[in-house]
Copies of this chain bind each other. A is one copy, B any other.
Amino acid sequence: MNDKHKHILEAAEQLFAEKGFNGTSVRDIAGAAGVNIAMISYYFGSKENLMIALIDYRSEYTRDILEEMNNNKMLTPWDKIEKLIDLYVDKILNNYRFYRIMTLHLATSQSDEIREKIIEIKAGNFELIKKIILEGQRKNVFRKIDMELTIGTVMGTIAQVTSSRSLYCKLLKIDIKDDDGYRKKMTLKLRTHLKQMLKAHLHIQNT
């Protein structure tokens, strides 16, 4: 995996996020990366293998950060929830193209191999978050909630903002072409909203 490999992957990522996997041709990718069409087969074997290489390329580190946070004994469950939200909001909004591709591929049944790979990664992250919430419940600071859907709400809200960007640009009157403006505004809004909501949701009521 040299610089040229990465350069092609990053060009492919942009196109896949914009037009979807099937909407992007190998010629598009080669054109955007400025290489010969045959180089893509030569480097990756096939278009599908290129997609798998892209997932591997982008999936590094997330797990490490989550695991490290999970093992940190200094942080309270509330701290961990706040850190978790910051981590995910930042990570997804800074790699929104890649996450859009993951969502698109998970929704459609194009390639079993790719889908299994994505599910494996997501399920792993899911378990780590579950541990944080369970710890909070054991320490009696979180109430009983629907575990899967609570995590689904966090993921889903962030995914909504990245996958329906054109809708939110219209609603919030942000220029659709202003990538940076959208990301900055949404990062702030998402962090505040999710923390406020999860605080209310997880807090033990005294009613």
> Hey, which bits of chain A sit against chain B, CB under 8 A?
18-23, 100, 103-104, 106-110, 115, 119, 122-123, 126, 145-146, 148-150, 152-153, 155-161, 163-164, 166-168, 170-172, 189-190, 192-194, 196-197, 200-201, 203, 205
Contacts and interface: CB of A to CB of B under 8 A. Distances in A.
Given A104-B20, A107-B103, A146-B192, A160 B155 contact: yes
Nearest to A109: B18
Contact of A23 (B108, B170, B171, B200): B108
Q: How many copies does the complex hold?
A: 2
Contacts of A150: 193, 197
A205 B106 CA distance: 39
A180 B8 CA distance: 42
The 9 A-B pairs of least Cβ separation, nearest first, read: A156-B160, A156-B156, A22-B22, A200-B200, A149-B193, A107-B163, A146-B193, A156-B157, A20-B108
The secondary-structure label for the interface of chain A is: helix
Contacts of A170: 119, 123
Given A149-B189, A156-B160, A190-B149, A122 B20 contact: no
6 contacts: A19-B110, A100-B107, A106-B164, A115-B166, A149-B190, A153-B193
